[in-house]
């Protein structure tokens, strides 16, 4: 099945990243519905006994524990907390590492006005690259990944973070954020692709896994020689000593080119009983990413709904739910699973959520 058209490749690349970043514990909290997302949150006048302006004053208190308490309180004010962004940016230079780290977390979640966004992004990039505390560098990389769009100003810092040898988690978080920071209209920036290829040599499997996925999601480099090198390297990663990395190397190759029978045969083999549970789970997620682009995927996922490993069965539910229209046989199997009294409760909830997702998918 050819996936060489831009539209098909982009669809698989988008699905690829969504498939990987499901948590290891497969059960997710239900997302708020569209009504709750679009409604205006209630105005909060006070947290504790203080107004927002009073908490902002406390950000300058000589006691670092009070500064940290103020950061936590400000996060509860919703959109109004945007007023505190300049003061939070000042705290990124706090002599105490804890307020610096907490200020970064707050900046990741509160509303940031467009006038402040470039300053925030640049400051977080500087923290990834140059803060003397690993905890702060890690939080900054994660915050940039959460912010998502318009973070190109942090690219130099994230490239530096990808080489941070003090913590594999900093390297992984930097890779996750660089996907957005390094994207251009014609593909990934060449220096980003080269950095990701270097990350494939990382001794931490989780970092190699992140890099493999990033290459697939970011797509084909515009430079022909770099593209050929990327393909060659990804093919080598299909033999990685960690099978979860190998699983997503196959996916990234397909996302950048076409769905291949040999790649699909490998994924199918990896879901079989006898493999490690975490390998089977990643293979199930990968199959869900391919979805109806390969004819045998849906029947295989339906069979896996009855798997004795609840993590595998639960991920099969989510994989089917992520396919817009998996067909009547899948819906029937999910329905039976959801009403069977012997079904594990978490798997049952996964089946119900999958049915809801399928219904919503058809309405789009």
pLDDT confidence bin for 42, thresholds 50/70/90: low
Which has more pLDDT, 40 or 317? 317
CA distance 354 to 324: 10
CA 214 remoteness from chain centre: 10
Q: What angle do CA 19, 38, 325 make, to 5 degrees?
A: 40
Q: How far is CA 311 from CA 227, 285, 287, 357, 363, in A?
A: 36, 11, 15, 19, 29
pLDDT score of 5 more than 70: no
Residues 6+ apart with CB under 8 A from 262: none
> Residue 31 is encoded by which pair of tokens?
């997302």
Residue 33 has pLDDT above 60, yes or no: no
Give pLDDT tens digits for 107-152.
Answer: 999 999 999 999 999 999 999 999 999 999 999 999 999 998 899 9
What is the residue whose two structure tokens read 């524990």? 65
Beta bridge partners of 187: 184
pLDDT in tens, 83-107: 999 999 999 999 999 999 999 999 9
Higher-confidence residue: 28 or 306? 306
Q: How far apart are CA 218 and CA 238, in angstroms?
A: 18
pLDDT digits (tens, 9 = 90+) for 192-235: 999 999 999 999 999 999 999 999 999 999 999 999 999 999 99
Inter-axis angle of helices 224-237 and 190-199, nearest 10: 20
- Tens-place pLDDT, residues 156-183: 999 999 999 999 999 999 999 999 999 9
Is residue 174 within 8 A of residue 164, CB to CB? The reply is yes
- The 3 state secondary structure assigned to the chain is CCCCCHHHHHHHHHHHHHHHCCCCCCCCCCCCCHHHHHCCCCCCCCECCECHHHHHHHCCCCCHHHHHHHHHHHHHHHHHHHHHHHHHHHHCCCCCHHHHHHHHHHHHHCCCCHHHHHHHHHHHHHHHHHCCCHHHHHHHHHHHHHHCCCCHHHHHHHHHHCCCCCCHHHHHHHHHHHHHHCEECCEECHHHHHHHHHHCCCCCHHHHHHHHHHHHHHCCCCCHHHHHHHHHHHHHHCCCCCHHHHHHHHHHHHHHCCCCHHHHHHHHHHCCECECHHHHHHHHHHHHHHHHHCCCHHHHHHHHCCCCCHHHHHHHHHHHHCCCCCCHHHHHHHHHHHHCCCCCHHHHHHHHHHHHHHHHHHHC
Residue 335: what pLDDT?
96
Non-local (6+) Cβ contacts of 185 within 8 A are none
- On average, the pLDDT of the chain sits at 89
Contacts 24+ apart (CB under 8 A), 4-13: 4/257, 4/258, 8/293, 9/219, 9/220, 9/255, 9/256, 9/257, 10/219, 12/254, 12/255, 12/259, 12/289, 12/290, 12/293, 13/216, 13/217, 13/218, 13/219, 13/255, 13/256
Q: What is the largest CA-CA distance in the chain?
A: 64
Q: pLDDT band at 45, cuts 50/70/90?
A: confident
Tell me which residue of 261, 239, 207, 247 sits closest to 3, measured CA to CA.
261
């Amino acid at each position: 099945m050819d996936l060489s058209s831009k539209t098909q490749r982009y669809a698989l690349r988008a699905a690829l990243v969504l498939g990987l970043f499901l948590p290891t514990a497969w059960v997710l909290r239900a997302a708020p519905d569209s009504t709750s997302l679009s409604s205006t949150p209630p105005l909060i006048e006070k947290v504790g006994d203080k107004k927002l302006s009073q908490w902002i004053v406390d950000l300058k208190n000589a006691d670092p524990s009070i500064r940290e308490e103020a950061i936590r309180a400000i996060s509860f004010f919703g959109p109004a907390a945007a007023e505190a962004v300049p003061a939070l940016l000042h705290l990124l230079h706090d002599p105490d590492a804890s307020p610096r780290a907490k200020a970064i977390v707050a900046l990741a979640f509160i509303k940031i006005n467009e006038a402040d966004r470039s300053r925030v992004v640049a400051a977080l990039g500087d923290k990834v690259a140059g803060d003397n505390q690993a905890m702060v560098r890690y939080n900054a990389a994660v915050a940039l990944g959460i912010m998502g769009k318009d973070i190109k100003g942090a690219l130099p810092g994230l490239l530096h973070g990808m080489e941070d040898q003090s913590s594999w988690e900093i390297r992984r978080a930097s890779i996750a954020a660089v996907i957005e920071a390094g994207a251009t209209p014609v593909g990934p920036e060449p220096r980003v692709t080269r950095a990701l290829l270097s990350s494939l040599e990382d001794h931490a499997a989780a970092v190699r896994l992140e890099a493999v996925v990033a290459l697939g999601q970011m797509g084909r480099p515009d430079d022909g020689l770099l593209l050929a090198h990327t393909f060659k390297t990804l093919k080598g990663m299909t033999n990685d000593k960690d099978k979860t990395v190998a699983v997503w190397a196959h996916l990234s190759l397909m996302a950048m080119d076409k769905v291949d029978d040999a790649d699909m045969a490998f994924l199918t083999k990896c879901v079989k009983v006898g493999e490690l549970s975490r390998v089977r789970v990643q293979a199930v997620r990968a199959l869900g990413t391919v979805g109806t682009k390969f004819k045998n995927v849906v029947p295989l996922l339906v069979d896996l709904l009855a798997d004795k490993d609840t993590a595998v069965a639960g991920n099969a539910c989510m994989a089917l739910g992520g396919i817009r229209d998996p067909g009547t046989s899948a819906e029937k199997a999910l329905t039976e699973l959801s009403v069977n009294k012997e079904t594990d409760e978490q798997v049952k909830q996964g089946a119900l959520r999958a049915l809801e997702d399928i219904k919503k998918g058809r309405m789009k």
